[in-house]
């Protein structure tokens, strides 16, 4: 069995989109403020060593577990100095 791979992208004011890859690039997942906890303004996307997606928004930093599709939000309560992370709000260690 071949595991489906997703191509993740963001577009300001639209949210986070997961496209099936290969072969169709058909939209499979679409997360936005109407159907999830994320903000529509998703900026920087990074993939960690586990294949999970980290992204910045006006509502904090988010982690999408690509196996379970669980989305976790990191905020001031988690020790971040602010909630709003704009374009370029990223770091990879």
The residue to which tokens 């770091």 are assigned: 91
**pLDDT digit string, tens, across residues 20-39:** 887 788 888 999 888 888 88
Domain annotation covers residue 11? yes
Q: Grade residue 87 by pLDDT with cuts at 50, 70 and 90.
A: low
Radius of gyration of the chain (CA): 13
pTM: 0.79
DSSP helix/strand/coil, 76: helix
Domain annotation covers residue 49? yes
Q: Grade residue 72 by pLDDT with cuts at 50, 70 and 90.
A: very high
Domain annotation covers residue 63? yes
Domain annotation covers residue 65? yes
Domain region containing 57: 5-78
Domain annotation covers residue 35? yes
Structural domains counted in the chain: 1
CA-to-CA dists, residue 29 to 7, 35, 63, angstroms: 10, 11, 15
Contact 85, 43 (CB under 8 A): yes
Domain annotation covers residue 18? yes
**pLDDT digit string, tens, across residues 34-53:** 888 888 888 888 888 888 99
pLDDT of residue 57: 83
């Amino acid at each position: 069995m071949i595991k489906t791979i997703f191509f993740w992208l963001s577009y300001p004011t639209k949210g986070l989109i997961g496209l099936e890859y290969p072969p169709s690039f058909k939209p499979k997942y679409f997360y936005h403020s109407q159907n999830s906890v994320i903000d529509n303004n998703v900026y920087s996307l990074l993939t960690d060593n586990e294949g999970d997606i980290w992204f910045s928004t006006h509502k904090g930093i988010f982690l999408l577990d690509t196996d379970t599709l669980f989305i976790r939000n990191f905020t001031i309560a988690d020790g971040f100095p602010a909630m709003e992370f704009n374009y370029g709000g990223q770091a990879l260690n």
